Amino acid sequence: MAVEPLEDVKREVIEAARRAYAIGLQTGNGGNLSSRVPGTDRVLIKASGESFGECTPGSLVAVSLRGEILEGAGPPSREVLTHLAVYNARPDVLGIFHCHAPWSIACAEFAEDIPCLAYHAAAKIGCIPVLRTEGHADRVVVEAVQDLLGRHPGVKVFVQARHGIFSMAGSIRLAEHQAELVEETAKIAWLVAVRSRAPA
């Protein structure tokens, strides 16, 4: 397979970040996203503290699959270890998108997985398991993610309780689109649950 130029990968990451910010999927300077350069062990990840809405080539840090910083001015996102755990476990994944989506976080408080009630969601993402762990962007989370990936081979998305969506795909563009669908699915699940408890 031909190696995709680094500049093309940077452009795709920036486009995904700005789209997510523009539609309100992530606010402020939260969330993170990354893309593995195909055919290499190089990963581009948003630098810590950078906003999706203001993402530029200078907002990205290049790291190896072992976590070595290869290029970039700022430190990588604090969740770089989680991203690398996924890339090392799943060679098919070339893009990871993470955001603090409110409907998904709310639903994750009350379920072991978020139900895909809409047919298109079930077809496109399958299942949405909820990851419960006491850690935050540390080795505890890495181990929990590795365990989840082992229990759900090929899973495309999951929601970390009290934290947000993690979406994994063959491109960062698709990973961001899947995250949008997870948030839509969580909103539907919440509204259906509220209506089912309402008086007739």
Q: Which residues are catalytic?
A: 79
Query: Which letter, b or e, does each residue of 175-189 get, where b requires 16 or more Cβ atoms within 10 Å of its Cβ?
Result: bbbbbbbbbbbbbbb
107 vs 13: CA distance, rounded Å:
28
Evaluate whether 37 touches 197 at the Cβ level (below 8 Å). Answer: no
Cα angle 138, 164, 179; round to 5: 120
Q: Which helix (H) or strand (E) holds 61?
A: strand 60-64
122 vs 117: CA distance, rounded Å:
7
Q: Which helix (H) or strand (E) holds 160?
A: strand 157-160
Evaluate whether 147 touches 133 at the Cβ level (below 8 Å). Answer: no
Evaluate whether 172 touches 144 at the Cβ level (below 8 Å). Answer: no
Phi-psi region of 142 (alpha: psi -120 to 50; beta: other; left: phi over 0): alpha
